[in-house]
Structure 1
Amino acid sequence: MKNPFIYSNDNKRYHTWNYYLKQKYHSKVFKVPLNANFSCPNRDGTCGVGGCTFCTSLGSGDQVQEMFEPLDIQYDANLKVMKNKWPQGKGFAYFQAYTNTYCSLETLKETIEPFFYKEDVLGLCIATRADCLEDEKIEYLNKLAQEKEIWIELGLQSIYDETAARINRGHTYATFVDCVERLKNTDLKICVHLMNSLPNETKDMMITSAKTIGQLPIHAVKIHMLYLMENTVLAKEYLEHPFPLLSKEDYIDVVVRQLEYLPKEIIIQRLTGDGVKEQQIESFWMLNKTVVLNDIDKEMVKRNTYQGRMLEK
């Protein structure tokens, strides 16, 4: 069956990150993860304590090599890992762990500029929160974006404020929308994180989250399943009072339906995540990412569907 999706040069029926990068840079491109050892406003008491209940003590930076070493050592170690897989590949410096704009403007400059100006770095990916991007930081980053590509990765997880409160997110959907509005007229690119299977959310709610953010002026989306990791607040809650989690089949169904409501121009940076196998306590089917991604592809072919199809009606 011929693939009807226009932003693809393989069997993928959605706008993959790999397709976007190869079209732009004509090369394999990867992210080099870094932990700049920032905190988050919902960890230090500014808007809460303990962080998001699903987040580990490493602030989603569990995969970073040499994470407690200086950033230049981290970069070299993680670049080596990537080069072992793709010797001719090129990299983005990816400030992944915690909230990477939760600091003074001066600290932000000191942190990112050594990597931004490295000749072998194509650009930056900066993971942060919607309540940690003041106008002066947006203005500064936008000036840099005239020279190299800069992605702002906004953790949202869900559009529902009751879910945000349940997971101790620390800000509302309105705060997120305000941040997107302040970013939309810049050269900065916006990637939004969504998480499926959060407590008390139905499949329809998860699909509505994707449908809603797809109407915003964003450039990319990351989607993945909730990871329940040892020693997180949410994992402890689950062990005491289990709540429903999506099966692999249900997850694939939700993702396919989410993709159908996302405009075809929006890049899909991720449809699975990377937990630490030894620390995961549930949904072990997620550990085999290749199988999950292949099954998503198969299901889209089976349904004869593709990203954005529901927006064509």
Structure 2
Amino acid sequence: MSNVNWLDKPYYSLNAYFKHVYGQKIYKIAVDAGLSCPNRDGSLDTRGCIFCSKGGSGDFAVKLDGQDECCDTRAVLSVKEQIAQGKAKFNKDAGDKFVIYFQAFTNTYGNPEYLKRIWTEALEEESVVGISIATRPDCLGEEVIEVLRELQKKYCGACGGVDCDEDDHRETKENSSRSKFIWIELGLQTIHDKTAEYIRRHYPLSEYEEAVRKLHKLNIPYITHIILGLPGETKEEMLETVFYVEQGVFEQDSHSKIKPFGMKLQLLHVLENTDLAEDYRQGKFKTMEMDEYLDLVIEALQKINPDIVIHRVTGDGPKKILISPTWSGNKKQVLNTLHKKMRDMDARQGDYSIMLY
């Protein structure tokens, strides 16, 4: 386990990672790049994933003045303008460094030249330390990979933006254009075929594994997004997904594994104007109670290697369109309760991970 101060949390949070690497808090600005998704444009489906809102999981991207969280209006500001608007929302005393999160829909699903332009716009911002790009594993084609290869070489140091030592940072800080990171967030959600079919994921597990291998060749860290509480899944099945992701993916023709840089544990939210909402209202499934969910998260964290950065442990759907579970709307209370339960149990991330390797 690396010698990192977890900042009084019982798990390795993203905030702790940023404090360790940059010595300060880094603020996230979510942007909408105006992209679509093969699950929306008819390439694979027109309905989207069953849980996906009209915002394409980008409901917290920068909104235009007066724009409602539940409306169908897409952002018309450029990425650069959204970054400026996002920075303006923070108090000047709060901090001066940001990570740009390309969140809405599938952020590698577009014209490669356009993708290169918007990612470069973000990376060129002096106050931006890096970008995180949310996407589907099946949307990392050769042209997109080539763009990522070029930007990784131009903006990122030898460490690839993660696990850097002082020499790495000393070298990159001499040239500010290279002191950035690029992370890719892969939306896996589950490893179970029956659930993947129900949520209309429309790609096999092998696509995820191939995406991990592609990113590894580029030295680009990956983060895996998991949803806990999907209809029909047992606690054991959810933990199987966590364990699979935590263990990493085998390199091609090798016995060594490519481990994730980070993991997101996302509580299932039922949002208005989704097909999932219809199933919920028809009584086809129930969402998790808070204690039930937190007990699951604690067990999951105890089985995750302590060197893996935990980017999320709950999630917070927009209150205006959140149907269930309503308790998740108070994110601060959820996190405080989680931390207290873990302290009372003397539970920490990685308690049992050594036993699993």
TM-score class, shorter-chain normalisation, is over 0.9
- The alpha-carbon deviation at position 291 of structure 1 amounts to 1.3
* One-letter amino acid matched to 1:104: N
Q: Secondary structure at the match of 2:271?
A: coil
Identity, % of aligned positions: 36
Q: Distance in 2 between matches of 1:249 and 1:68?
A: 41
**1:87 counterpart SS class:** coil
Give, in whole Å, the separation in 1 of the partners of 2:352 and 2:142.
36
CA distance in 2, matches of 1:116, 1:130: 23
Structure 1 stretches of 4+ with a deviation exceeding 6 A read none
Counterpart CA distance in 2 for 1:250 and 1:6 is 32
Q: Distance in 2 between matches of 1:114 and 1:290?
A: 33
Aligned match for 1:279, one of 321, 326, 333: 321
- CA distance, structure 1, for counterparts of residue 25 and residue 264 of structure 2: 19
Residues 189 and 225 of structure 2 are in contact (CA less than 8 Å); yes or no, is this contact kept in structure 1? yes
| Partner residue, 2:186 | 154
Cross-structure match for 1:73: 81
Would you say 1:205 and 2:212 are equivalent positions?
Answer: no
Structure-1-length-normalised TM-score: 0.94
Deviations 1:53-85 (A, max 9, x none): 10111101112222332322222111112x228
Mapped contact 2:79–2:122 kept (Cα < 8 A): no
Alpha-carbon distance in 2 for matches of 1:140, 1:117: 15
The one-letter code matched in structure 2 to 1:211 is F
2:337 corresponds to 1:295: yes
Q: Is the 8 A contact 1:184 1:218 kept in 2?
A: no
Greater shift in the superposed pair: 134-143 or 43-52? 134-143
Q: Match for residue 172 of structure 2?
A: none
Query: Could you tell me which amino acid in structure 2 is paired with residue 43 of structure 1?
Result: R
C-alpha distance in 1 between matches for 2:12 and 2:25 = 16
Indicate which of 224, 230, 235 corresponds to 2:272: 230
Q: CA deviation at 1:150?
A: 0.5
Name the amino acid aligned to 2:55: L
Check the 8 A contact 2:132/2:183 in 1, yes or no: yes
2:103 alignment partner in structure 1: 96
> What is the DSSP-based 3-state SS (H/G/I as helix, E as strand, rest coil) of the residue aligned with 1:199?
coil
Q: 1:86 to 1:166 in 2, by over 3 A?
A: farther
Matches of 2:48 and 2:123 in 1, distance apart? 28
The secondary structure found in structure 2 opposite 1:300 is helix
Counterparts of 1:183-202 in structure 2, within 5 Å, are: 183-202=215-234
2:203 to 171, 181, 184: 171
> Quick one: structure 1 residues 13 and 193, their matched pair in 2 at CA, closer, same or farther if it must change by over 3 Å?
same
Counterpart of 2:46 in 1: which secondary structure? Answer: coil
Q: Is the 8 A contact 1:5 1:307 kept in 2?
A: no
> Does 2:279 align with 1:240?
no
Q: Distance in 1 between matches of 2:60 and 2:242?
A: 26
Q: Distance in 1 between matches of 2:330 and 2:2?
A: 26
For 2:85, the aligned partner's letter is: A
Superposition deviation, residue 5 in structure 1: 9.9
* Number of matched pairs: 309
Q: TM-score with structure 2 length normalisation? A: 0.82
> Residues of 1 paired with 2:215 and 2:150: CA distance?
13
For 2:29, what is the secondary structure of its paired residue? strand
How far 1:188 moved relative to its partner?
Answer: 1.1
Q: Which amino acid aligns with 2:83?
A: Y
Instruction: Give the C-alpha shift of residue 26 in structure 1.
Output: 1.0
How big is the alpha-carbon RMSD for the aligned residues of Structure 1 and Structure 2? Answer: 1.8
Paired residue secondary structure (1:130): coil
Equivalent residue number for residue 44 of structure 2: 47
Which of 105, 124, 135 is equivalent to 1:117? Answer: 124
- 2:299 aligns with one of 257, 265, 269: 257
Structure 2 unaligned residues grouped into runs of 5+ = 65-74, 157-177, 249-258
Residue 10 (str. 1) matches residue 7 (str. 2): yes
* In 2: Cα distance, 1:232 partner to 1:187 partner: 36
Per-residue CA distance 1:214-257 (angstroms, 9 max, x = gap): 01121001112111111111011211233022110010011011
